[in-house]
Homo-oligomer: A and B are copies of this chain.
Amino acid sequence: MLITIYLIAITAEAMSGALAAGRRNMDIFGVAVIAFVTALGGGTIRDMVLGHFPIGWTQHPDYIYLVISAGLLTTVLARYMHHLKMVFLVLDALGLIAFSLIGCEVALGMGYPTVVVIMAGMITGIFGGVLRDVLCNQVPVVFRHELYASVSLAVCILYLVLRKFGVPTEANTLISFAAGLTLRLLAIWRGWKLPTFSYQKRWE
User: What is the interface of chain A, defined by CB distance below 8 A to chain B?
Assistant: 18-19, 21-31, 33-34, 44, 48-51, 53-55, 58-59, 61, 64-65, 75, 78, 82, 85, 112-116, 119, 130, 134-140, 142-145, 149-150, 153, 193-201, 203
| Inter-chain pairs besides A27-B143, A61-B115, 5 sampled, C-beta below 8 Å | A24-B139, A24-B143, A51-B54, A58-B112, A85-B203
Once bound together, how far apart are the Cα atoms of A17 and B193, in whole Å? 21
Interface of A is mostly: helix
Number of copies: 3
Q: Which residue of B lies closest to A201 (CB)?
A: B82
Name A28's contact: one of B25, B137, B194 (CB within 8 Å): B194
Most buried by B among A61, A194, A196: A196
From B26, B149, B199, contact of A23 by CB (8 A):
B199
Which residues of B have CB within 8 Å of A64?
Answer: 115-116, 119
User: B135 touching A137 by the CB < 8 A rule?
Assistant: no
Residues of chain B within 8 A of A18, CB atoms compared: 197
Q: In the complex where A29-B150, A144-B25, A197-B27 touch, is A130 in contact with B135 (Cβ < 8 A)?
A: yes
